[in-house]
Amino acid sequence: MPDNNLTTFFGKPVEDFQNGTETWDFARTVARLRIDYESPDTVPMLLAAYASLPGVEATEALVIGAWHGDTQDSSQDVVEALVTYAERLPNLRALFLGDIVSEENEISWINQSDLSALWPAFPLLEHMQVRGATDLSLGRFEAPRLTTLIVESGGLPRRVVQEALAAGAPELRHLELWLGTDGYGGDSTPDDFTALFAGRLFPKLDTLALRDCDYVDDLAAAIATAPILERITTLDLSLGTLTDAGAEALLASPAIAKLSRLDLHHHYLSDDMMARLERLGPVVDVSEQQDEEEYGGEIYRNVAVSE
């Protein structure tokens, strides 16, 4: 899980919005709305204040940080407030719901909610990013302008994977799902990606990132011969538990060498396998080599982000 909050988003610097602020440079700065344990405000209160600013209609991007204070409240009230003030944000193109770092909350403790009302409220959304998957639902949605969808978690439920893959998003170019482990709710399997790997979804997809996955060897084997590789330019299987077995499947695929970038950082590859991968045609990231751990005769490999 990231240790630092965003400093930039959607090409602009991010600054915290404080209640009582009377003006904002909407053209140059993205507002982040968040509270801490001592804050007298709530994020819906901050959103109401932000939405009342003169010129707020020019907002193109918005970041929602910690909304829980000293509670474990879900994002439901925040989502409802966003929908309430949607008419004041008619040009919103990018939204990050959950710019929360480990110092504020562990990723598996971030309680999300049903986000389905956001899609019709903000039809111009191009970039949607969510952190935390507990109680998360994307809903069945149409997002005609969406180009980037990112869902970060330590364990992404199969239901949410299916919702993402069922999206009506014909312009989608970047799909990033942090699949996590079953210990934190991640119960997807390679079979859930059959239609995606076959190239039947998202005709403009350019970057496919299936990150933080504890069955990434199986994913690598499934994608190595998949038609989707003929279309994308970047494949990201980083943050997971990739071993030489999964990497061998990738090396056997002629399409892998045609990629522009292959990101495998945080892995369990041998030195020899790392060297073989680095000799491929694309830019290959095999940094952050991990060491297996053994307890009671069992081998353990950990994803980068779980709890």
Instruction: For residue 159, give the amino acid letter.
Output: R
pLDDT band at 95 (very low <50, low <70, confident <90, very high): very high
CATH number for the domain formed by residue range(s) 138-307: 3.80.10.10
Where residue 220 falls among pLDDT bands split at 50, 70, 90?
very high
117-144 pLDDT per residue, tens: 999 999 999 999 999 999 999 999 999 9
Handedness of CA 37, 33, 140, 240 (dihedral sign): negative
CA distance 35 to 210: 31
Q: Is the pLDDT of residue 216 over 70?
A: yes
What pLDDT band is residue 68 in, cutting at 50, 70 and 90? Answer: confident
Question: Percent of the chain having pLDDT more than 90?
Answer: 91
**Alpha helices, DSSP H, located in the chain:** 43-51, 76-84, 118-121, 158-165, 194-197, 216-224, 244-251, 271-278
Residue (of 177, 171, 168, 113) closest to 141 by Cα position: 168
**Tokens describing residue 203:** 């005709």
pLDDT at 208: 98
Angle between helices 216-224 and 244-251 (to 10 degrees): 10
Contact (Cβ atoms closer than 8 angstroms) between residue 233 and residue 255 = no
Question: Domain residue spans in the chain?
Answer: 1-106, 138-307
**pTM attached to this predicted model:** 0.97
The pLDDT of residue 288: 98
- Higher-confidence residue: 307 or 27? 27
Which residue, among 284, 244, 238, has the nearest Cα to 265 in the 3D structure?
A: 238
Mean confidence (pLDDT) of the chain? 96
Dump pLDDT digits (tens) for 2-30: 788 999 999 999 999 999 999 999 999 99
Per residue in 229-245, pLDDT (tens digit) is: 999 999 999 999 999 99
Residue 79: the pLDDT is 98
CATH architecture of 1-106: Alpha-Beta Horseshoe (3.80)
pLDDT tens readout for residues 262-277: 999 999 999 999 999 9
Rounded to an integer, the average pLDDT of 91-108 is 94
> Average of pLDDT values for 47-64?
98
Q: How confident is the model at residue 223 (pLDDT cuts 50, 70, 90)?
A: very high
Residue 307 pLDDT exceeds 90: no
- Tokens linked to 102: 């480990």
Q: How confident is the model at residue 70 (pLDDT cuts 50, 70, 90)?
A: low
Rounded CA separation 116/140 (Å): 7
**Choice among 104-108, 204-208, 286-290 with the minimum mean pLDDT:** 104-108
pLDDT score, position 135 = 97
Is there a common fold for 1-106 and 138-307?
yes
Q: Among 240, 290, 295, which residue's Cα sits nearest to residue 268?
A: 290
pLDDT of residue 103: 87
- The least confident of 3-7, 41-45, 54-58, 260-264 is 3-7
